[in-house]
Amino acid sequence: MSNVPDPSFPANIPALGQPVDELALAEIKSAILGKLRLAIGKDAGMATRHDWYKAAALALRDRIVHHWLTAEKQSYDAGSKRVYYLSLEFLIGRLFTDALNNMGLLKVFEAALGDLGVGLEDLRKCEPDAALGNGGLGRLAACFMESMATLAIPAIGYGIRYDFGLFRQIIAQGWQQEYPDEWLSFGNPWEFQRPEVVYHVHFGGGVEHVERKGGDLAIWHPAETVQAVAFDTPIVGWRGQHVNALRLWSARSPDPLKLDVFNTGDYLGASAEEARAESICKFLYPNDESAAGRELRLRQEYFFVSASLQDLIKRHLSSDGQLRNLASKVAVQLNDTHPSLAVTELMRILVDLHHFRWDEAWKIAVATLSYTNHTLLPEALETWPVELFQRLLPRHLEIIYRINVAHLAQAEERCPGDVDFRASVSLIDEKAGRRVRMGQLAFVGSHSINGVSAMHSDLMKETVFHDLNHLYPGRINNKTNGITFRRWLMLANPKLTDLLREACGEAVLDDPSRLEHLEALASDSALQQKFRTVKHHNKIALARLIGERLNVMVDPGALFDVQIKRIHEYKRQLLNIVETVALYQAMKDDPKRDWVPRVKIFAGKAAASYRYAKLIIKLINDVADIVNNDPAIGGRLKVAFLADYNVSLAEVIIPAADLSEQISTAGMEASGTGNMKLALNGALTIGTLDGANIEIRDHVGAENIAIFGMEAMDVVVRRKQGLDATDVIRRSPNLSRAINAIGSGEFSPGDPGRFESIAHALRYLDHYMVCADFDSYYEAQRGIDARWQVVPAWTRASILNVARMPWFSSDRTIREYARDIWNVPVRGTAPHGLQETGAQRGATR
């Protein structure tokens, strides 16, 4: 069961201190120069940094492609089962050093580029982030793609190639502004356009029914057709052995230019259809963007689902020649409800196009599909007006109705006469003006429905899917999220990685369970010193970034307190900033006390239409302005809001964090993955018992995490009693004074009413329990202050956090999906101790 690298692996990471191979170095240099001349068309003398980046990326890509084609041929020859991961979001970030690292070529490329007079680090920064996602859900898809390649699971990720990713955030006078994210403007060296892989995706029109051999045949006559064109990006697994494709679809019109119209002088009209088609892949909708472009969003969902299913069906038919065995060769994972239309589209393909009997088709569909739920918030569960469906996807609506008939009959059988039960499980919400429920559709059409942390999966059974779970028992299961250690440890924190190689042995790179070796060393003063040196180095780098971007000087010796994630009320950045205000006021009251110096670091985007979240950003920045410039507190408190949070910024902040803020209202965060990244890099967590925080506590031990606040059930109870918080505010002088200061304009002297709405909501509409949890949070923070001052104990807890995180590797998560849901083999045996499942959680420590 050893996971020690096979010596035949092409990618050998040079052991610490080992020089790079001279032959390989010469070969890489000449490959880069070759690309510069022949693919970019430039000489070394005239090349820009960007040209060098592209040449290096292309030289690397060549090396990846060989492995890719080999892997592809092997799985085809072996007739292996394939996994298809459908996701409207892939938050990839940069690929250059990620691919270099996984190919084991980081050191040799660095040396080759150095010889050519360019710095790898400079080139790395030329690559724009591929920000095709909002946050955790999209980043999970990216980590999963990397882990599936690492575990040699033949897989394809399907999504949309948005021309513009999530907006670029600029902070102007403290306010968020949104600008288009032009990530493709310099081209994209990673992707291969596949002009021959084109599918037609239809919309609108009507359905004709004809009698055929004792059955009814539906023929959809669509009104509009869009073409989907494939773009493939290779995703390399660790040590370069296996490569999978991320296939993103771009939309275009089959009839891009009407020449006759053009010739009449109507230039815009001539390309109107092209514009309409292309709007589908124009940009990624931010979460929480409610009314805007709803119809376009549904078009996006159907567009990528239809193209992806056509593609996988074609591949299956070419290898197997039939669809009857689809489920034995194909597993389709739906990442949230956005690809729920896969249920109806697969039924349409099987019944309408391949003439399967309905019942047989249904068995195949359910056995093939599985669905991951990411939220319990009712407002975030997608529904679409029936009327819109009728107009855009008339045949799919018929299919939904037919599924619903059988489904409701089953419900009636299960709970005879129970009208409420039937209404609750129905695919159609009859109360809300007749809407199609995508969560219900995905649930009914899947053999597996999983939540993303133990608590979330439990709550799913008790809340949103309570009745569906009763009707289809055994389908709900848990797969606690994970993160890829290659990106979030090795790449983001090379200094810590080197220390871990030294302390745990080289095999730690392949088998994270080796981090256990740290346990015995956690109190060792030599190791502690080295560990602190690494953290300090990372904090200097972040302090420099804060200085450059915000012109705020922070002391790398201070406690770096980090909250980085989408800005949302349930994530409670507001709780953090109210506590910051209270701390500031306490410091001013008693400036002589030995206050622990802190830097509060925030980053995150608010959906453009989410006004309250944008006001919270402004509040953070206004508080920063006052606090950072108040000489009375002697620089012991600083607040920094870093703009444009994305994967690359996360890679700089996370290795420098001392404290990780995971303070969502209990019951509202499905899992979180930022919490895992930060703990893996040695930050202590201050958090609520929510999402994966609970499992993190179980693993790192209750003494190495600071838990505070209400639990999910307390929140339910308190909300029932009302949202008025005047009672708790009256009992808490710290809180009361902080809210008064915010509400009366102490932080917005030029516009004293600016934050009145926030103060009002805190007092009377405390839905997110900011006030109800405040005292407990404030106290936990002061506990952190006390712990910080005992350096060896703090370092020990920090080391133990790292040592006890291996279970949170996305390799472990993917092994569980492979074993429990997809039924596909994975490379290697699970290293000892990493296959424990949620059922055993709590048994640890």
Ligand X SMILES: *Cc1c(COP(=O)(O)O)cnc(C)c1O
Judged by the rule CB under 6 A, the positions of this chain that interact with ligand X are 91, 135-136, 139, 565, 645-647, 650, 672-674, 677
Distance CA 220, CA 353 (A): 10
How do 383-385 and 428-429 pair as beta strands?
unpaired
Q: Which residues make Cβ contacts (< 8 Å) with residue 696, sequence separation at least 6?
A: 675, 676, 679, 685, 687, 705, 808
Q: Which residues make Cβ contacts (< 8 Å) with residue 43, sequence separation at least 6?
A: 36, 37
Note whether 767 and 571 are within 8 A (CB).
no
* Distance in Å, CB of 624 to ligand X, minimum: 21
**Catalytic residue (choose from 239, 475, 571, 796):** 571
Between 671 and 736, CB nearer to ligand X:
671
Classify 555 as helix, strand or coil.
coil
Concerning whether 795 is annotated as a catalytic residue, the answer is no
E strand segments, 28-72: none
Concerning whether 484 is annotated as a catalytic residue, the answer is no
Output the CA–CA distances (angstroms, integers) from residue 17 to 14, 108, 498, 501, 723, in the order listed: 8, 13, 10, 12, 60
* Distance in Å, CB of 675 to ligand X, minimum: 6
Note whether 10 and 105 are within 8 A (CB).
no
Between the CA atoms of 307, 313, 314 and 318, what dihedral angle is there, to the nearest 10 degrees? Answer: 160
Between 47 and 650, CB nearer to ligand X:
650
**Catalytic residue (choose from 67, 81, 374, 501):** 374
* Distance in Å, CB of 514 to ligand X, minimum: 24
* Distance in Å, CB of 621 to ligand X, minimum: 20
- DSSP per position, 114-171: HHTT--HHHHHTTSPPEEESSSHHHHHHHHHHHHHHHTT--EEEEEE--SB-SPEEEE
Between 91 and 738, CB nearer to ligand X:
91
Concerning whether 812 is annotated as a catalytic residue, the answer is no
Concerning whether 363 is annotated as a catalytic residue, the answer is no
* Distance in Å, CB of 538 to ligand X, minimum: 16
Q: Which residues make Cβ contacts (< 8 Å) with residue 223, sequence separation at least 6?
A: 203, 204, 205
**Catalytic residue (choose from 368, 673, 795, 813):** 673
Between 137 and 728, CB nearer to ligand X:
137
Classify 289 as helix, strand or coil.
coil
Distance CA 341, CA 332 (A): 12
**Catalytic residue (choose from 396, 475, 566, 568):** 566
Between 736 and 801, CB nearer to ligand X:
801
- DSSP per position, 86-101: E-S-EEEE--HHHHHH
Between the CA atoms of 666, 672, 675 and 681, what dihedral angle is there, to the nearest 10 degrees? Answer: 170
Note whether 638 and 628 are within 8 A (CB).
yes
Question: Side chain identity at 458, as an amino acid letter?
Answer: D
Task: Tell which residue, 448, 361, 367, has the closest CA to residue 406.
Answer: 361
Residue 155: strand pairing partners: 83
Using left for φ > 0, alpha for ψ between -120 and 50, and beta otherwise, residue 534 falls in alpha
* Distance in Å, CB of 95 to ligand X, minimum: 15
How do 224-236 and 243-252 pair as beta strands?
antiparallel
Note whether 83 and 822 are within 8 A (CB).
yes
Between the CA atoms of 532, 538, 541 and 544, what dihedral angle is there, to the nearest 10 degrees? Answer: -50
C-alpha atoms less than 13 angstroms from C-alpha of 365 in its C-beta half-sphere: 27
Q: How far is CA 156 from the centre of its chain?
A: 17
Distance CA 696, CA 705 (A): 8
* Distance in Å, CB of 93 to ligand X, minimum: 7
Using left for φ > 0, alpha for ψ between -120 and 50, and beta otherwise, residue 375 falls in beta
Distance CA 305, CA 288 (A): 22
- Encode 283-298: b = buried (16+ Cβ within 10 Å), e = exposed: bbbbbbbeeeeeeebb
* Distance in Å, CB of 662 to ligand X, minimum: 7
Concerning whether 374 is annotated as a catalytic residue, the answer is yes
Q: Which residues make Cβ contacts (< 8 Å) with residue 245, sequence separation at least 6?
A: 68, 156, 157, 232, 233, 234, 235
* Distance in Å, CB of 545 to ligand X, minimum: 16
Q: Which residues make Cβ contacts (< 8 Å) with residue 648, sequence separation at least 6?
A: 93, 94, 129
Between 183 and 584, CB nearer to ligand X:
183
Q: At 28, which helix (H) or strand (E)?
A: helix 22-35
Between 189 and 672, CB nearer to ligand X:
672
* Distance in Å, CB of 166 to ligand X, minimum: 9
Task: Tell which residue, 373, 374, 367, 372, has the closest CA to residue 331.
Answer: 367
Concerning whether 537 is annotated as a catalytic residue, the answer is no
Between 364 and 696, CB nearer to ligand X:
696
Between 371 and 645, CB nearer to ligand X:
645
Between 51 and 127, CB nearer to ligand X:
127
Nearest residue by C-beta to ligand X? 674
Between 165 and 222, CB nearer to ligand X:
165
* Distance in Å, CB of 714 to ligand X, minimum: 22
Note whether 637 and 560 are within 8 A (CB).
no
Between 148 and 647, CB nearer to ligand X:
647
C-alpha atoms less than 13 angstroms from C-alpha of 501 in its C-beta half-sphere: 16
* Distance in Å, CB of 163 to ligand X, minimum: 20
Between 61 and 139, CB nearer to ligand X:
139
* Distance in Å, CB of 677 to ligand X, minimum: 6
**Catalytic residue (choose from 501, 677, 699, 815):** 677
User: Which residues are annotated as catalytic?
Assistant: 374, 565-566, 571, 673, 677
